[in-house]
Amino acid sequence: MSGKRKSLMIRPEKQLDDCVDWLRVQKERMESELTLRAKEIGDYLIHYFFHDDLAELSSQSPTKNVSFKKLCERADLPFSEAALRRFIHVAVNFRYLPEAEARELPPSHHSVLYQVADPTERARIGRDAVESAASVRKLREMVKGKGRRRPGGGRKRASEFYKQWRQVVQAMQKLSAGLDEDIPLDREQINAVWRETRLVHDNLNKVIDRILESPVNKKTDET
């Protein structure tokens, strides 16, 4: 290897322009492939849990498809609940938009577009979004006032408190399931568990008291 230092190569501006154009094409291909993979998963979920029935999927009944809700609560789920719902949004939109246009929209755009309840209006806005290369923010503006609904058929997004609560419940279920086996703890660890168990107990009581004091709970008691 030569001991001479190589001179710094500065690419001409035209070559940089070519590089940007090439990267832009690759980005579009990646987004298209990502959208197709999301559609594939969404189609599977719609078929497996909703029997390809879009009316059942969009139902606002709190009792609709308990199995899908249980799936979303699984601690070993490789995707978040939000991601699964986004995949479903993509798959549904592919049934209303021409495939060539649906492929142009990233999954994040599909979730915003899914909020439009009227399929014809949704398809029109989707075409406009593709033609204008609208950003997610711009698409939200286009959707506003066009018969929006919350993603997931009107189901409210879980609060951060509820998400953390579900994690606590799942962790406790795992711990309880392992009680039939020997618990490898030394004396110091056992003492720590005992102290922390009392702390957990006290904090749970605080949570319960706070819930009992909430306006929603008081309103339920009154009715």
Query: Could you read off the pLDDT of 1-55 as tens digits, one per residue?
Result: 445 555 556 667 777 888 888 887 777 777 778 888 999 999 999 998 888 888 8
196 token code pair = 């922390």
Average the pLDDT over 58-84 and give the result. Answer: 81
Instruction: Read off the pLDDT band of 160 (50, 70, 90).
Output: confident
Tell me, what DSSP letter sits at residue 118? -
The fraction of the chain above a pLDDT of 90, given in percent, is 17
Hunting for tokens 């497996």 — which residue is that? 48
- Taking the whole predicted model, whether its pTM rises above 0.85 is answered as no
- Bridge partners, residue 38, by sequence: none
> What's domain 14-143's architecture?
Orthogonal Bundle (1.10)
User: How confident is the model at residue 64, as a pLDDT?
Assistant: 67
Sign of CA dihedral 145, 84, 42, 51: negative
**Residue in 70, 66, 50, 48 with CA at minimum distance from that of residue 58:** 50
Domain edges within the chain: 14-143, 182-223
